[in-house]
Chain A
Amino acid sequence: MRVIAGRLLHLVVVLFFVTLFVALLTSMLPGDPVDAIAGFASPEQKDALRTDLGLDDPVWVQYGRWMGDFVTGDLGGYYSVTGERPVWDRVSEALPVSLQLMVEAQVLALIFAIPLGVFTAYRAGSRFDRTTGATLFGLLAIPNFALALVLAYYVGVQLGWLPVSGYVAPSDDLLEHFRRMAMPAISLAVGQVAVYMRLLRSDMIATLQEDFITMAKAKGLPPWHVLWRHALRPSSLTLLTVAGLNVGTLIGGAVVVEVIFSLPGMGLLLGEAINARQYIALQSLIAIIAVGYVLINFLVDVLYAVLDPRIRHART
Chain B
Amino acid sequence: MPEPDVAAGTGSASGRSADGEPAGSVDVAAGGAPAVVLAPADAAALGGAADVAPALVRRSGRLGVPGKVAIAWLVFVVAAAVLAPVLPLDDPNATEGSLARQGPGTDGHLLGGDGLGRDLLSRLVWGARSSLLLGVGAVAIGIVGGGTLGLLAGYYRRRIGTFLVGLFDTLLSFPALILALTLVTVFATGEGTSSTRRMVVLILALGVVSIPLLGRIARATTLTWSQREFVMAAKAMGQRDRSIMIGEVLPNVLPAMFSLALLSIAIVIVAEGGLSVLGVGVMLPTPSWGNIIAEGRSDLRDAAHIVMFPTIVIFLTVLALNYLGDVVRARFDVRESAL
- Chain A residues with a Cβ under 8 A of chain B: 10, 13-14, 17-18, 21-22, 25, 28-31, 35-36, 39, 124, 129-130, 133-134, 136-147, 149-150, 152-153, 157, 190-192, 194-195, 198-199, 201-203, 205-206, 209, 237-238, 241-242, 245-249, 251-257, 259-260, 267, 270-271, 274-275, 277, 279, 282, 286, 289-290, 293-294, 297, 301, 304-305, 308, 311
Where chain B touches its partner, the secondary structure class is: helix
Asked, given contacts A251-B175, A270-B181, whether A143 binds B314 with beta carbons under 8 Å apart, the answer is: yes
Which residues B126-184 have CB closer than 8 A to chain A? Answer: 169-170, 173-178, 181-182
5 CB < 8 A contacts A-B: A133-B52, A140-B44, A146-B311, A202-B18, A202-B27
Closest partner residue, chain B, to A235 (CB atom): B24
Query: Is B254 close to A, CB under 8 A?
Result: no
Q: Is the CB of B41 within 8 A of A146?
A: yes
Asked, given contacts A36-B190, A137-B53, A209-B20, whether A256 binds B32 with beta carbons under 8 Å apart, the answer is: no
Q: Is the CB of A30 within 8 A of B187?
A: yes
Closest partner residue, chain B, to A14 (CB atom): B173
Query: Is B40 close to A, CB under 8 A?
Result: yes
Question: Number of B residues contacting the other chain (C-beta, 8 Å)?
Answer: 76
- Chain A residues with CB under 8 Å of B25's CB are 238
Q: Is the CB of A199 within 8 A of B279?
A: no
For the A-B complex, the count of residue pairs with Cβ-Cβ distances under 8 Å equals 286
Asked, given contacts A191-B41, A203-B22, A206-B22, whether A136 binds B176 with beta carbons under 8 Å apart, the answer is: no
- Of A238, A293, A305, which is in contact with the most chain B CB atoms at under 10 Å from its CB? A238
Query: Is B189 close to A, CB under 8 A?
Result: yes
Q: Is the CB of A206 within 8 A of B21?
A: yes
Query: Is B286 close to A, CB under 8 A?
Result: no
Closest partner residue, chain B, to A187 (CB atom): B41
- Chain B residues with a Cβ under 8 A of chain A: 1-2, 16-25, 27-28, 31-33, 35-45, 47-49, 51-53, 55-56, 169-170, 173-178, 181-182, 185-187, 189-191, 266, 270, 273-274, 277-280, 293-294, 297, 300-301, 304, 307-308, 311, 314-316, 318-319, 322-323
- Give the shortest distance, in Å, between B245 (CB) and chain A (any CB): 28
Q: Is the CB of A149 within 8 A of B43?
A: no
B322 CB contact (under 8 Å) in A141, A270, A279, A289: A141
Q: Is the CB of A137 within 8 A of B170?
A: no
Q: Is the CB of A275 within 8 A of B279?
A: yes
Q: Is the CB of A198 within 8 A of B51?
A: yes
**17 extra interface residue pairs, beta carbon distance < 8 Å, beyond A157-B301, A242-B36, A256-B278:** A14-B170, A18-B173, A30-B190, A140-B44, A143-B318, A144-B44, A145-B274, A146-B314, A206-B20, A249-B40, A252-B43, A260-B277, A274-B279, A289-B175, A293-B173, A294-B173, A301-B1
Q: Is the CB of B23 within 8 A of A202?
A: yes
A245 CB contact (under 8 Å) in B21, B24, B28, B176: B28
Q: Is the CB of B307 within 8 A of A149?
A: yes
- Chain A residues with CB under 8 Å of B182's CB are 22, 25, 282, 286
Q: Is the CB of B273 within 8 A of A145?
A: yes
- Give the shortest distance, in Å, between A203 (CB) and chain B (any CB): 5
Q: Is the CB of B174 within 8 A of A130?
A: no
CA distance A205 to B170 in the complex (A): 34
Closest partner residue, chain B, to A207 (CB atom): B22
B28 CB contact (under 8 Å) in A17, A153, A238, A289: A238
- Give the shortest distance, in Å, between A15 (CB) and chain B (any CB): 9
- Chain B residues with CB under 8 Å of A286's CB are 178, 181-182
CA distance A6 to B286 in the complex (A): 48
- Chain A residues with CB under 8 Å of B319's CB are 137-138, 141
4 tightest A-B contacts by CB? A191-B44, A202-B17, A252-B177, A143-B41
Q: Is the CB of B177 within 8 A of A255?
A: yes
- Of B24, B176, B307, which is in contact with the most chain A CB atoms at under 10 Å from its CB? B24
- Chain B residues with CB under 8 Å of A152's CB are 300
A143 CB contact (under 8 Å) in B49, B274, B301, B323: B274
- Chain A residues with CB under 8 Å of B318's CB are 141-143
Closest partner residue, chain B, to A241 (CB atom): B28
Q: Is the CB of B178 within 8 A of A206?
A: no
Asked, given contacts A137-B53, A202-B27, whether A304 binds B278 with beta carbons under 8 Å apart, the answer is: no
- Chain B residues with CB under 8 Å of A35's CB are 191
Q: Is the CB of B41 within 8 A of A253?
A: yes
- Chain B residues with CB under 8 Å of A308's CB are 2
- Give the shortest distance, in Å, between A201 (CB) and chain B (any CB): 7
CA distance A28 to B186 in the complex (A): 7
- Chain B residues with CB under 8 Å of A293's CB are 173-175, 178
- Chain A residues with CB under 8 Å of B55's CB are 129-130, 133-134, 137, 198
Q: Is the CB of A252 within 8 A of B315?
A: no
Q: Is the CB of B170 within 8 A of A13?
A: yes
- Chain A residues with CB under 8 Å of B35's CB are 195, 242, 245-246, 249
A255 CB contact (under 8 Å) in B51, B178, B189: B178
Q: Is the CB of A274 within 8 A of B190?
A: no
Q: Is the CB of A153 within 8 A of B307?
A: yes
- Chain A residues with CB under 8 Å of B176's CB are 248, 252
Q: Is the CB of A274 within 8 A of B280?
A: yes
CA distance A143 to B289 in the complex (A): 12
Q: Is the CB of A195 within 8 A of B56?
A: no
Q: Is the CB of A242 within 8 A of B178?
A: no
Q: Is the CB of A134 within 8 A of B56?
A: yes
Asked, given contacts A133-B52, A141-B322, whether A238 binds B175 with beta carbons under 8 Å apart, the answer is: no
Q: Is the CB of B20 within 8 A of A144?
A: no
- Give the shortest distance, in Å, between B296 (CB) and chain A (any CB): 8
Q: Is the CB of A137 within 8 A of B175?
A: no
- Chain A residues with CB under 8 Å of B175's CB are 248-249, 251-252, 289-290, 293
CA distance A254 to B36 in the complex (A): 13
Q: Is the CB of A206 within 8 A of B24?
A: yes
- Give the shortest distance, in Å, between B174 (CB) and chain A (any CB): 5
Closest partner residue, chain B, to A242 (CB atom): B32
- Of A141, A150, A195, which is in contact with the most chain B CB atoms at under 10 Å from its CB? A141
